[in-house]
């Protein structure tokens, strides 16, 4: 390649670490053909980000869409085992194509396939973070997808919007770009409401913003606007700004940089610590603890949740799982890593520590959720 690559100078200038999520509909056409020319234009955009000093990660969908065409699977919703087989076939082609188009710019790609457990379990999360961090340090571009061949319905992300946000938070990226088939977040679904307008900047994801996303799912993308807003919550809490922009044009990032349409979700000014962002961003929360008014006050003062304040335990969870904490009216107050299995939590709820030792037959932890493992909704800006 002889052309010199110039760094961005507009809205995309100055970022240090950028995650770009690319939806299936942008990558695959017809019966499983990759849009190679478009991928080349994205690779050039990646080179421009890197020329400005940013480390770049790609979260690329398209494995299933690609593989189903190659395997001549029927149209419509696929059975789980068919989509797993399709992903196995599609992922090879997808990774190869990214390696080649990035390679044209002298950029090395490294494939990472993640399952839900890799981001939800602390030890695996830390391992994944170390590997991806190493790749970035070595100057490579991690090309990430969900490991769809082994993911089953119960334990999968299913959409790459939230996966990309989880990765962005995990890697302390300062920007997440979701490239999709829509220019950004509209006040109402633009297909049905001609008066819908694009919202250029979202300072905070309020219930009103969430309501706007409600019905805006597009047929082509699996996630639709709802999972994009969920992704925004995971990202912004962790200090990562998020941009939604259309990828239906060549060089979509260059277009944003010269002022093309997009929605920017600003990062929280005071992001919670990486550990708390990890807790808050959990996709799965298998249990719910209901707490009394006294415990609500204690939590708001930054204290731990103790067993006497817990009035009800729902769900089936293990020690270390993320649970949701609600008040007596069922309003979510916090999320945290619970110190007891559900069975024990039920036995000791409402009890004080002297009784607990008798119940459990051994001294247990004093806290149901330690304050270091607890993230209040207030901390999340909503
Ligand atoms: N992981 C899926 C794939 O590669 C895509 C999920 C999504 O559409 O967000 O085909």
CA distance 257 to 8: 7
Query: pLDDT for 127-161, tens place per residue?
Result: 899 999 999 999 999 999 999 998 877 678 888 99
Buried b (16+ CB within 10 A) or exposed e, 87-97: bbbbbebbbeb
CA of 80 to the centre of ligand 1 (A): 13
Confidence band, pLDDT 50/70/90 cuts, at residue 220? very low
Confidence band, pLDDT 50/70/90 cuts, at residue 218? very low
CA of 72 to the centre of ligand 1 (A): 18
CA distance 201 to 203: 6
pLDDT at 98 over 70: yes
Query: pLDDT for 250-273, tens place per residue?
Result: 999 999 999 999 999 999 877 777
CA distance 216 to 224: 6
Q: Is 69 in the pocket of ligand 1 (CB under 6 A)?
A: no
Q: With 0-12 CB in 10 A as exposed, 13-18 as middle and 19+ as buried, what is 152? A: exposed
Tell me what pLDDT residue 130 has.
92
Share of the chain above pLDDT 70, in %: 95
Query: pLDDT for 186-209, tens place per residue?
Result: 998 887 888 999 999 999 999 889
Q: Is 61 in the pocket of ligand 1 (CB under 6 A)?
A: yes
Evaluate whether 178 touches 21 at the Cβ level (below 8 Å).
Answer: yes
Distance of CA 331 to the CA centre of its chain: 24
Q: Is 148 in the pocket of ligand 1 (CB under 6 A)?
A: yes
Task: Look at 208-217, 309-318, 323-332, 366-375 and tell me which has the smallest mean pLDDT.
Answer: 208-217
Please enumerate in sequence order all residues whose Cβ is within 8 A of that of 123, keeping only pairs 6 or more positions apart, or say none.
Answer: none
> Chain-wide mean pLDDT for the chain?
90
pLDDT at 318 over 50: yes
Q: For the chain, what is the largest distance between any 2 Cα atoms, rounded to a whole number of angstroms?
A: 76
Q: Is 252 in the pocket of ligand 1 (CB under 6 A)?
A: no
Query: pLDDT for 1-57, tens place per residue?
Result: 456 899 999 999 999 999 999 999 999 998 889 999 999 999 999 999 999 999 999
**Percent helix, percent strand, percent coil in the chain, to nearest 5:** 40, 20, 40
Confidence band, pLDDT 50/70/90 cuts, at residue 222? very low
Residue whose entry in the numeric block shows the structure tokens 């977040």: 185
CA of 251 to the centre of ligand 1 (A): 21
Tell me what pLDDT residue 368 has.
95
CA of 159 to the centre of ligand 1 (A): 6
Tell me what pLDDT residue 223 has.
56
Structure tokens that stand for 355 in this block: 């009784």
Domains and CATH numbers, the chain: 17-268 (3.40.1160.10), 276-376 (2.30.130.10)
Please enumerate in sequence order all residues whose Cβ is within 8 A of that of 2, keeping only pairs 6 or more positions apart, or say none.
Answer: none
Residue of 60, 158, 161, 217 with the most ligand 1 atoms within 8 Å of its CB, for mutation: 158
- What is the residue-wise DSSP string for 156-176? ---SHHHHHHHHHHHTT-SEE
């Amino acid at each position: 390649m002889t052309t010199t690559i110039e760094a961005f100078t507009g809205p995309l200038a100055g970022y240090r670490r950028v995650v770009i999520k690319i939806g299936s509909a942008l990558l695959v056409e017809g019966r499983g053909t990759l849009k190679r020319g478009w991928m080349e234009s994205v690779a050039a955009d990646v080179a421009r980000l890197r020329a400005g000093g940013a480390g770049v990660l790609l979260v690329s969908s398209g494995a299933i869409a690609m593989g189903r065409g190659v395997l001549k699977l029927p149209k419509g919703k696929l059975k789980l085992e068919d989509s797993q087989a399709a992903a196995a076939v599609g992922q090879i082609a997808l990774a190869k194509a990214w390696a080649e188009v990035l390679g044209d710019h002298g950029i090395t790609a490294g494939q990472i396939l993640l399952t839900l457990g890799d981001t939800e379990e602390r030890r695996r999360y830390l391992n994944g973070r170390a590997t991806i961090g190493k790749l970035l340090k070595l100057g490579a571009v991690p090309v990430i997808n969900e490991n769809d061949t082994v993911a089953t319905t119960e334990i999968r992300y299913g959409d790459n919007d939230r996966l990309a946000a989880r990765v962005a938070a995990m890697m302390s990226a300062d920007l997440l770009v979701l490239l999709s088939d829509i220019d950004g977040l509209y006040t109402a679904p633009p297909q049905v409401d001609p008066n819908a307008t694009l919202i250029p900047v979202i300072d905070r994801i309020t219930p009103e913003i969430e309501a706007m996303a409600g019905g805006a799912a597009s047929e082509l993308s699996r996630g639709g606007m709802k999972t994009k807003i969920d992704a925004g919550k995971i990202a912004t809490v962790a200090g990562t700004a998020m941009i939604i922009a259309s990828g239906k044009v060549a060089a979509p990032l260059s277009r944003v940089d010269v002022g093309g349409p997009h929605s920017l979700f600003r990062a929280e000014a005071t992001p919670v610590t990486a550990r708390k962002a990890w807790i808050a961003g959990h996709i799965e929360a298998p249990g719910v603890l209901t707490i009394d008014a006294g415990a609500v006050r204690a939590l708001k003062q930054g204290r731990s949740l103790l067993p006497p304040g817990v009035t009800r335990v729902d769900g089936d969870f293990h020690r270390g799982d993320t649970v949701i904490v609600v008040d007596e009216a069922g309003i979510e107050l916090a999320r945290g890593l619970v110190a007891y299995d559900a069975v024990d939590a039920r036995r000791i709820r409402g009890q004080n520590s002297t009784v607990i030792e008798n119940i459990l037959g051994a001294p247990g932890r004093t806290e149901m959720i330690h304050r270091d493992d607890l993230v209040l909704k207030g901390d999340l800006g909503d």
